[in-house]
Structure 1
């Protein structure tokens, strides 16, 4: 997948990451489902329901939902999250498993939707004290997308003026004070997750940490 993935390769990576996350969540206790994730005020269960929602809505329905929310992302996300959250965590997980192989998405930016499952997967795994390292090839595609474009997160803005170099893969870019670490940690930092700055080194890290706040 290095050197620029095809749409088919990106979708296969999305499906693989969804399946891996679902397997990791299979033995969670109810109190773990209720634990805060790294994504705002969402719990682990809410973050998973958000992923299900994103894999269940195409462009037309997304536009209708956004219009109904007066183009407020927070309102839209909460409504769709609530729609796909089950009556119990077990049902929420079943709903998520049902969309593992979905290719439905609000836009054609498949790398962004790969980013959704990579980032939100870490949003839930890190607070649970569980480790999951997505494939380097998949995370590299997300890192490249994030460095080049603001989309679901303001990653390009956050990355501007810094030099990014992965210690475990081919991702590199930008110019300025160096930030180095695993491709996953770089990607999560570009997504604004300040806790992953602890996994990075280089003179650009204090700048990055301040931006993540």
Structure 2
């Protein structure tokens, strides 16, 4: 994984730009489709990404305190701040933060992960075949496999051997779970849909853990 924050931010910026290009010609109906991110629509996930790239440490802490450490409420408030009057305005706000290096903490790989994961939360329901680069997905996969941060990714994959079919990412020992780097990353992030893209004797265990976490 790149150990330079500069390299990680460059990848995040490139992934934001690629996502903005993918969304340039969506219809209103497409903007309001459900995403893979809970109850949020495609437009709401994009507004969340804008909020994440616009919220530094002090503003994040103030918002969390105001929400009494209810992170769902915190995220909903920040998302609402970035929703435009129209989807085109929401996209314009996202496009404006493409070069941002603002974040709530110094865990740069996690903020790359925000872009990588939520981009697929948007693309998959829309049937878009674009995906993050293997390099970007690998950086996020290695971060997710190494710790529980905003999602219990390390706990979720304990006792399993993860092996990417399209890149260098491997982690752990135990029953094999194999697939593309982005499929492994999305499964670690708790996206059950991506288990369909994985193979190996460990997939059933991983699927069960994701399902249990969601209940």
Deviation at 1:108, TM superposition (A): 0.6
| TM, length-normalised to structure 2 | 0.97
In structure 2, what is the equivalent of residue 202 of structure 1?
Answer: 200
| 2:141–2:181 CA contact under 8 A, matched in 1 | yes
- Indicate the SS of the match to 2:30: helix
- Cα distance in 1 for partners of 2:138, 2:116 equals 11
User: Could you list the runs of 5+ residues in structure 1 that have no partner in the other structure?
Assistant: none
In the TM superposition, 1:17-36 aligns within 5 A as: 17-36=15-34
Quick one: distance in 2 between partners of 1:15 and 1:209?
A: 31
**RMSD, matched Cα:** 0.7
Secondary structure of 2:162's aligned partner: strand
| Separation in 2, partners of 1:16, 1:35 | 25
The corresponding residue for 1:151 is 149
Large movers: runs of 4+ above 2 Å: none
Task: Judge conservation of contact 2:2–2:8 (CA < 8 Å) in 1.
Answer: no
Q: Deviations over 1:168-194 (max 9, x none)?
A: 111001111110010000000000001
Report what 1:52 is aligned to. Answer: 50
| DSSP 3-state at the match of 1:127 | helix
Whole-Å Cα distance in 2 between the matches of residues 150 and 15 of structure 1?
A: 24
1:11-160 alignment runs, 5 A limit: 11-160=9-158
Asked whether the equivalents of residues 5 and 141 of structure 1 are also in contact (C-alpha less than 8 Å), the reply is: no
Structure 1 length as normaliser, TM-score?
Answer: 0.98
Distance 2:157 2:99 in 1: 31
Q: Deviations over 1:74-113 (max 9, x none)?
A: 0000000000010100000000001000000000111000
Q: CA deviation at 1:5?
A: 3.3
Number of aligned positions between the proteins = 211
SS class of match (2:125): coil
> Is 1:183 matched with 2:181?
yes
Note the residue ranges of structure 2 that are not aligned, 5 or more in a row: none
